[in-house]
Each structure stands twice: as C-alpha cells, then as structure tokens.
Structure 1
Amino acid sequence: MNSAEPWADPERVGRYRARVFAERDRLRAAFTDPGAQQRRVLADLLAFNADTAYGRAHDFARVRTLDDWRKAVPVQDYSALAPWIERAAAGEDNVLTADRPALFFTSSGTTGSRKKIPVTRRFMHTTFFPFYYAAWAPLITHFPDVLARPDAVLNLKHDPLTTPPTTASGKPHVGASQADFGTRFGEPLSAEPGTHAPWATLPTPLAPDAHLDKMYLRLRMAVESDIRCIIGINPAMVAALPYQLNLWWPRILKDIRDGTLDGRPGLLPNPERVVELQQLTRCHATIRPAHIWPHMRALFCWTTGLASLYLPRLREEFGPGVALLPAPVAASEGPVGVALDRHRSAGSLVVSASVYEFADADRDLTPDTPTLRPDELEPGRDYHTVFSHVGGLYRYAVGDVVRVVDHEDGVPRLEYTGRSTLSNVAGERLRDAHVLRALTTALTAGGLELRNAACRVSRDERGTPAYEFALAPHTPWTDDETERFTARLDRALGQESPGYRRARADRRLGAPSALRLPADAFLRDWQESVAGGIRPTQVKDRLFRQDPAQWRRLTGRTPQ
C-alpha cells in the first residue's frame, strides 16, 4: 500500500485502470507466440544470473535451449534450493540472483513450513507485477463501481505490519499480503482495491498475532459501509465471514451504537445504522452478508479445491447474482495462470513470467523426471507444475497440481486441483484431486451438498487401513443417504485412482467410512486455528488431516 496515492483520488483510479488493462493487453499479445515468449524468458534469466554462484555451478553460460536447460539443472523442490536460499537470506550477494533480494516472502503455509522465497526487484518488475495487475481486469471491467469509493471493497487478506519479522540479514520475511510494494519497489499503483478503506490501518494498536481481534475490528467497521466486493484469495476466509457476523453480531451492534472499537473509544456513535441493523435482526434469524450489504457485486478468491464444494451455496449468502471471480493460479514462489475473463476456475498460462514445464501428476517427481512444454499439454489431464524465473527459482517444483481445462488464445488454461502430496498407506496413491473428484461424483449422484470435508487413514482392530471422512453436510443427511454416499464414494475413488482400486480389491485397504459433523464444524475449526496465532491467509482448507490432535479438534473424536 502507498498512502501517498489514496483510492479516493479519481485521477489515481484512472491511472490504475489504465495500468491494469495495459498489462492484460500485453499478456494477451504474448499469447500470439508463446514459444517465443518462453525462449525469451529463458534467455533473460540466463543472461542476468549467469555470473551468480548458482549460475556458475550449473554452467548457465553454456545453456542455449530448453533441452540444454533440462540437462544443466535438475527438477528440484524447496529443500534442494534451501542451502542456496539460506546463504542469500544471511546476506551473501550474488548467490541465486544478480540483484539482492529486497525481501523474502514466507510460504502460504500449505505444507506447514515457513519457507524463505527470495524476492528481487527484477523478479517483481518482469514476473510479478505484469500478472498481478492483469488479474484485476475482469473485476474492474465488469464491476467498475468497486473502485468508486475506498470503502467499497473489504479486502480480507490485507494485513500490513508495522514491524515485520526479518531474516538474518535484516530483510523483511513476510507474506505477499503484508509487503509494501509501493515503497519497496517504486510501484505507487500496486495497492489493491480495499487497501485504503478506513479499516485498512486499524486505529487501535494490536499485537501482531492478534489475528481474530484484527478480523473483528475490520468487520465491525465494514458493517457501517456499503461493501460491493470481498477480496479473500483464500476462500476459507470468505467462508468464515458469515459465521463471524453471527458469532460477533451483538458485540458489533454495541460497538456501532457506542462508537467504540471492541469497547474502546475510537469512532463516532452511529445510532441510525444500529436501528437499520436491529431491524434486520427482527426480520432474520440468521444475519447474512446480503442483508448488511445489499449492493454486493463480486467475490474474488480461489474457486477450486475443497472450495468448489461450498462456494455455490456460500455465494448465496452474499446475495443473488453475486459473481465469483477466480484468483490467480499462483503461489508465493511465482505465478502460473491468471483469469483474463470471467471463467469460474481457470487462468491462462502467464507465458511471459517464467519458463514453464509440466509432468504427469500420477508420476513421482525426481530430479530427472521428463517434462512437457506448455504446448504439449492435453485437456482433462493433471500435471505437476515446474517453473524457472529470473528471481532465482530454477526448475522449481512448487508442489501444486494443475488441470488443463482447455486452450484459449493459443495457451493452456489451468485450474488448481490441489497439492501433489500423496496419501499412500497401501499403494493407493491418492492425491487431493482424486478425492475431490470422487467426492463431487458421489455427491452429485445423490443430490447431496457439503459445506466442507476432510479425511484421514484409520485402522480397524486387525490393523487394516481405511479412509475415514469427516463431512459437514449443508443440510442434515439421513443414515440411508450417508450409507449410500459412502458406497458411491468408494466406487468413485476406485475410478479416479487405479492404486486405490487395486488396494481395495486386494483387501490391503478397507472400505471408507463417513462421520457426519455439524454444519459449522469446519468454520469453528478454522476460527480456532486463527485464534491460536496462525495468520488467516495461511489457514486453508486441507483435505488430508493425519495429525491426531487436529482431527480431534475438528471432529471431537480421538482417532483410531
């Protein structure tokens, strides 16, 4: 955020719109010859970083083609690059990149570890900012009123820090939503919609890890505004909002009536708004965002993964006709796809950002795994994502699996299907995508809906492993519905995964079971995680939950 350029300035809004559309148009122009773009990106990163310690060790100066690149550098994950990254984080120059890291992004927390992702000025200007601006084009094209006022957008992920944690060399080590791109990278237009709302910088000081208190204060203040758009990126944050409204409703009303912030002076009393809100309470047993913000237009977040199970119903909480716009297919380490239209789930490959390679998701990644170019991808197939960019990540396996939806404008459109991590106790080799597709098949066949789901491997009295599913139905299921659903799920898992089908046939794996939970079970679990000090952006939907303590907290049962 750059406080010198507030969203209230119409001239600033005009320049922002122009920048967004220009980056979108440049990216579309790159689609006319994606192969040339990929060669250009490779040549640029090689030339720029050839004389780094990593570049000399891998003979960047001799690389000319993608085949040369594959021979020179192995496919690698974070652990393989970690020694090089730690040298850079300790302050050593010219390790992975010719320019010094300005900061280090922390990982989003999917794997539970706190990575240090080097972020350089060259990376931001050549790889990050072009896709970052283009990602907002569908929103501001079709819903321009979200830019009409600074308080028209509730940006749930915006979380600036006064004193960020640092690496050994003193560089900030923060999430992307906590970085000040305007000041650090000279990008005054980089502040997202919603980052100049009255609640963007809270008027009362709070501890850095008081995440629920921050969420309460922002929501309490936003209830007084006419919100048109919610930006969440992580859909679990968006799903938590209706739950929090009802959880905190009496507290919110009291604060608005008294002009307080969680009981502390700070704002003017607003009795007129309280009268309006109390009328809603008399009319509705459950307060929904649609009641409070009747002009809501759009939700901006990831729309795939477990969120695909609950977003259709969740959207209704925010109002009839509210649009779901997909956030980019991206990680802290770099972008992969960005939606340039209103497709519900997929984004076009950002061919000008990185050198992209892909590998069959049903095969294990190794340093010498054969990879495919973007033009070799097939619709309907799942792939590991591997990318290389000028920011110092080379043939980096980010750990995400994407599915090719189709090809549009000459490039593949991709949707995120989950992590590449396998659940594999009996040779079943289940990935997130297998289980999610099986869940969808089993639900659709019975006309059933879920608010969320998770699973773990349990064992019976003979020690035979089997999958136990924790399910939060949208409306209550009967015992018969549950039994029939579980049988369909078993069949669907076998259809998705040959390993699962063989393990079941050989009786190495028992039949799955289903545990019905209250509708708000996953929301309560999410709230408890945030209350425990984890940043809301990092508390994501997680399908496989093998940790006994986490399972007990979610279900109230001690796992077998």
Structure 2
Amino acid sequence: MTTDSAAARPTTPEPNSPSSAAGWAAPRHAERYSERVFAERARLTEALGDPRGHQHDVLTDLLDFNSGTEFGTRHDFGRIRDVDDFRKAVPVQDYAAHAPLIERMAAGEPNLLSADQPVVYFTSSGSTGAHKKIPVTPRFMRTTFFPFYYAAWAPLIENHPDVMRRPDAVLNLKHDPLSAPPTTSDGRPHVGASQVDFGRKFGEPLSAELGTAAPWGTLPVDIAPDDHLEKMYLRLRLAVQSDVRCLIGINPAMIAAVPYQLGLWWERIVKEVRDGTVGGVPHGAPDPARAAELTRLADYFGTVTPAQVWPRMSALFGWTTGVASLYLPALCERFGAGVAALPAPVAASEGPVGVPLDRHGSAGSLVVTASVYEFVDADADLTPDVETLLPHELEAGREYHVIFSHVGGLYRYAVGDVVRVVDMAGGVPRLAYAGRANRSDAVGERLRESQVVRAVRTALDATGLGLVNIACRTERTSRENAPHYVFAVAPQSPWQPAEADRFTSLLDAALTRESADYARARTDRRLAAPALCLLDRDAFQRDWHAAVATGIRPTQVKDRLFRQDTTLWHRLLGTA
C-alpha cells in the first residue's frame, strides 16, 4: 500500500490518552468501533486485488524508513530496489540473530533495527515459553498491526451481533491488564499483547477488545500478578451472573479449560454468588436466586456445562487448527448446540500473517499490506541462504515455513510457524496455521505436528472414536530395542481394548502415508510400532492447571503435541 509519508508517520500519544476499555462507555463507541472494524476489512479486501503491488510498497516503505539504522546501513538498504535485491542483501534469520540489536534497543540505544523507538516489548508466546523481547514501535502498530487487528473481529461482530450489545456479553479470557508491568532496562513495558492498553500507549481508544469493559475486565480484588488461576476463578465467578454470548480465548487450551474449571470451582462459585462476595470480599449484592438456579442445574445435570450456565452462547473465538481441530467440535457442544468456532488470525507476537475476512473455519487471507512475506517448503531446513518463495508462487494443499519482514525492525524473520495453503484466490493464498516448525526426530523420522494431527484425525474417523486431547513422545524400552512413539490420549468416553488397538494400528499406517521419513524408519526397523497410553478425561486439564500454577500466563500454556521432557510427561500421566 502506498502511503503518504506525513500521514503515515506515527505520533507520540499524549500522556492522558484514554484507556481503551474505558472507551466502551463513551457515546457511540460501539458504532464507531464497528465502523472501524469493517473499514479495515474493506481496505484489506481491496488490497488483495493487487498483492504484488502492495508487497512492493511494503518493502519500499520499510527500506526508506529504516535505511539509516544500524541494520539498514549494514545491509545497504539504500541500494535495494526490489525483493530479489533484498533476499541477496539480508540472510534468513531467527530471533537469536536479531537478539543482539534487540538487547541494545532494550537498553535504550536508538536507531538500531528501526528508526522508531519501541514503546513496549511484546513477550513471545512461542512453544518454549521463553521471554523474547519483540520491539513494538508506533510505526509498526499503525501500518502493520492495527489494520489486521481491527479486521480480525469483522466476522464475529457481523455474524454474532449480540456480542456488541452489552459490555458483559463477552468473556475475554486472555485480557490480563497489569498495574505494574515488568520492564526492560530502559523502562519500557515487557508484556504480552493482551496486557497492553493500546489506547494509552498508542492513542487508539477504539482498540479495546470485546469483553474488556465487562465487570471482570478489571478485577475488584487485589491478586498477585502471577496468580493466574485465581484470576481465572474470579472472572468465572463474576461471569456466571451475566448472559455471556461469546468466549474469546485465542489459545484454544484456555477455552477448553472452562468446562473443567466450572466443575472444579463450582461449590465456591455458587457460595460466593449466594453471599455476594468475590474472592471472599463483599462485592455487589447477594444473589440467592441465581445461586439457587445454579444449584438446580447441578442437581439436575450432575455435571454443569457452560451450555447450562450461559444458554445463549453462540461463538468461541480462537485458533481452530492444529491439535485443537481434533477436539473443538466436541468442545463446542459443551458450550451449546450450534455454537460456532471462529478462527483467530494466523499471527505471532512478532507480526501478522493471515486474517479471516469471512466465516471460513480455519484460514485467513495473507495480510499483503503488513509485511513482506516469503515462504519455504515445510520439509526443508531453514538456513540463512535458503531459497524462498513469494506468495504468488505457493501451491494449494502444501505447507510452508513463514518468513516476514516489516517496518518494526524484523527482517527476513523466520517466525517458527508452519502454515498450510488452503486455497489461492487471485494469486493470494489463504493460510491456516499448521503447527510449530519444530519436528519430532528420534531416528530421522522428521515428523511435523500437522502430519501427526492429520494421521490422528484419520484414525479417529475410521474408528468413530473421540478425544479430549493428545500428546506423544518417543521412548526406548532398552538399548537393544528400537525407540517407539507413545501416544497419550484422553478419550471423550472410554475406549474398549479392541478399539484402542485398532486406533493405534490405523495411526501407524496413517503416519507412514503422511511422512516418507517415518515410513522409511519403520521399514528399516529404526522405529518400532507405536503404543497407546489411555488417560482419564481430565488429565490434560489437570496438567494445564499445573503449568499455569507455576506462574506461566495462560495464553502461553498451549496444546503441546510433542512432549519429550520426561518430567512434564510424567506430570501429564500423573506418575511424577
């Protein structure tokens, strides 16, 4: 997108810029929010008509804006004219390659990766949980982040308008504001994106997400910043007294935890509703009528589900692919008949990749105005000089590593995600998240997450079985025996021994079809037949709670298919 340099040049927000969540109380806020959301979607949709032109404009803009930085000078940005020049001048690189300059930025040194000074640093929510520092500049937010961020909500508010009618119609599970956030050495906040008030930091009061102005948006009792389980309890406690229509989780493991948490905390919730307390502190009026209604539900149904607590629930908003695709249909039923699972954007803390512009259940269109995108076949190894493909060169049905460059200061950045091209429309790919780029590779089988997920789906479909969640690892029973995969499965309902054996055999066969490397490893007897370990229904939820109890933010405790860490594996199995 060609931009007017003066108009696009970001401004520093005033110190008294309004809080985003508070903006929902302003006159016409909901109307203005809808207008902004649909306008950004319209602009992104229009941009899909000229993807190559917009990709060239993005490259030109980031080169011009950052040519005088240390990175730009080092790589001679002033001489780069097109993407081929750019690929020759800059190697493919990951966070570790950017880290030395990022650390200097975080110490207050200017003009290193971006001509803009970062306002905050996003923490990574990647597979390792490591706290990377992702610099977030005003220019990045204005040109790269906000357009896709607003547009992402269009399918939800267009097709589920009830979520806009009251502040408490949405339970936003990821909203986690901090009054005293951790900072980098130069005093900039170092937090998750869901912990940043974009109104105050970037002068964008319309940016507050749905549900952030609900009674639980700001908790009425003081809680330690890392006591995430208590925060989750308090939000549920308050939400059972509202007519919630939608849950926003992004990370589907957070949404999957809600039915378990209702059962886990039920007696405490009902007592506090009856007494008019929140976390043991008086808050609002006692509500014996609602408490009695909740008690009747529990007595009648035995196990209370979200569908009974919130009978008008219509949508869940989060990632719908990867491991979650195996359990989401059954999970949606626990929230109510006809509840829709709407996909969140294909994005990372470092930047956007795809955004759903319609009701497709998993894929989003490439955000051609946000970054310069390159791709590498998912089976290839990422090296600094690896050959890359441009968006129009991708093929439907194939999977690719994602590499992007944007004005915020990340260049040819291998984000560590693999995407699947669902289809190509007008030369623009629609992309679904396929999994992290890490592989399980004990003896050269080089299995990717998406291959295992598809194989599991094949075995489930063939047997008619269902699961709550699944994880796997390789084990070796002795030095003389070949290692084998062990799959830990929490079934939706008990599996009979014959069913479990058939599932395991079908899974092995499906893996050989998905991965030539796995097939060779099995044929050469470097890899033995897989084994199955059946867990109880709540095993993964207990494990998720155990991880959150260590102080990890819930947004970062994601479904983990490959679990080679022995301690964490035994925690999941309950044998630690």
Provide TM-score, normalisation by structure 1: 0.98
- The aligned counterpart of 2:451 is 434
Give the equivalent residue in structure 2 for 1:70: 87
Which of these residues, 187, 197, 215, is aligned with residue 198 of structure 1?
Answer: 215
Specify the alignment match of 1:211 in structure 2.
228
Q: Which residue of 2 aligns with 1:492?
A: 510
**Code of the aligned partner of 2:46:** A
SS at match of 2:214: coil
Q: Which residue of 1 aligns with 2:542?
A: 524
* Larger deviation, residues 406-415 vs 202-211: 406-415
1:289 counterpart residue number: 306
How far does residue 4 in structure 1 lie from its aligned partner after superposition? 7.2
CA contact (8 A) 1:109 1:539 kept: no
Q: Is the 8 A contact 1:5 1:12 kept in 2?
A: no
Q: Residues 227-281 of structure 1, C-alpha deviation per residue, up to 9 Å, x if partnerless? A: 0110000000000001000111110000000011122222221112112112212
Question: Aligned residue for 2:406?
Answer: 389
SS of match in other structure, 2:439: coil
Name the SS of the counterpart of 1:511 in structure 2. strand
What do you get for the CA RMSD once the two structures are aligned? 1.1
Q: Is the 8 A contact 1:107 1:332 kept in 2?
A: yes
1:334 pairs with 351, 357, 364, which one? 351
Give 1:17's aligned residue.
34
Query: Could you say which residue in structure 2 is the equivalent of 1:542?
Result: 560
Match for residue 291 of structure 2?
274
Asked if the contact 1:8/1:149 (under 8 Å) is kept, the reply is no
SS at match of 1:378: coil
Q: How far is 1:409 from its partner? A: 5.1
Q: Deviations over 1:16-69 (max 9, x none)?
A: 000000000000010010000000000000000000000000111110111000
**Counterpart AA for 1:187:** E
Does the 8 Å CA contact 1:228/1:297 hold for their aligned counterparts?
yes
Deviation at residue 111 of structure 1 after TM alignment: 2.0
Return the alpha-carbon distance in structure 1 between the equivalents of residues 265 and 224 of structure 2: 20
Instruction: Tell me if the contact between 1:7 and 1:149 (Cα under 8 Å) persists in the aligned partners.
Output: no
C-alpha separation in 2, matches of 1:423 and 1:84: 31
Paired amino acid for 1:159: D
- Give the conservation status (yes or no) of the 8 Å contact 2:21–2:208: no
Q: Give a deviation string over 1:386-432, Cα, whole Å, max 9, x none.
A: 00000000000000000000123541100001011111111101111
- Check the 8 A contact 1:52/1:94 in 2, yes or no: yes
Q: Please say if 1:113 is aligned against 2:127.
A: no
The TM-score, its normalising length taken from structure 2, stands at 0.96
- Matched to 1:240, the amino acid is A
- Cα drift, residue 197 of structure 1: 0.3
Indicate conservation of the 8 Å contact 2:391/2:427, yes or no. no
Query: Are 1:511 and 2:529 matched, yes or no?
Result: yes
- Distance, in Å, in 2 between the alignment partners of 1:224 and 1:314 is 22
Q: Deviations over 1:57-94 (max 9, x none)?
A: 01111101110000000011111111111111111000
**Is 1:300–1:326's contact at 8 Å kept on the other side of the alignment?**
yes
Structure 1 residue 463, shift from structure 2 partner? 4.4
Q: 1:18 to 1:85 in 2, by over 3 A?
A: same
2:7 maps to none
Q: Hey, what does 1:305 align to over in structure 2?
A: 322
Tell me: CA distance 1:28–1:3, structure 2 relative to 1, closer, same or farther (3 Å).
Answer: closer
User: Match for 1:415 among 429, 432, 438?
Assistant: 432
The residue aligned with 1:87 is 104
Instruction: Write the distance in 2 (CA, Å) between the matches of 1:472 and 1:4.
Output: 38
Distance 2:396 2:494 in 1: 37
CA distance, structure 1, for counterparts of residue 129 and residue 38 of structure 2: 36
Listed as ranges, the gaps of 5+ residues in structure 2 are 1-17
The worse-fitting range, judged by mean Cα deviation, of 406-415 and 29-38 is 406-415
1:3 CA drift (Å) = 5.4
Q: How many residues align?
A: 558
Match of 1:166 among 169, 183, 186: 183
User: Superposition pairs for residues 443-454 of structure 1, below 5 Å?
Assistant: 443-454=460-471
- Counterpart-to-counterpart distance in 1, 2:24 and 2:73: 46
Aligned equivalents of 2:64, 2:156: Cα separation in 1:
37
Deviates more, 1:548-557 or 1:303-312: 548-557
Any idea what SS the aligned residue of 2:235 has? helix
Q: Which residue of 1 aligns with 2:3?
A: none
Separation of aligned partners in 2, 1:282 and 1:556: 30
Q: Deviations over 1:302-339 (max 9, x none)?
A: 00011001100000011111111000000000000000
* Structure 1: unaligned runs, 5 residues or longer: none
Runs of 4+ in 1 over 6 A off after TM superposition: none
Q: Distance in 1 between matches of 2:312 and 2:508?
A: 43
Q: In structure 2, which of residues 519, 523, 529 is the aligned counterpart of residue 501 of structure 1?
A: 519
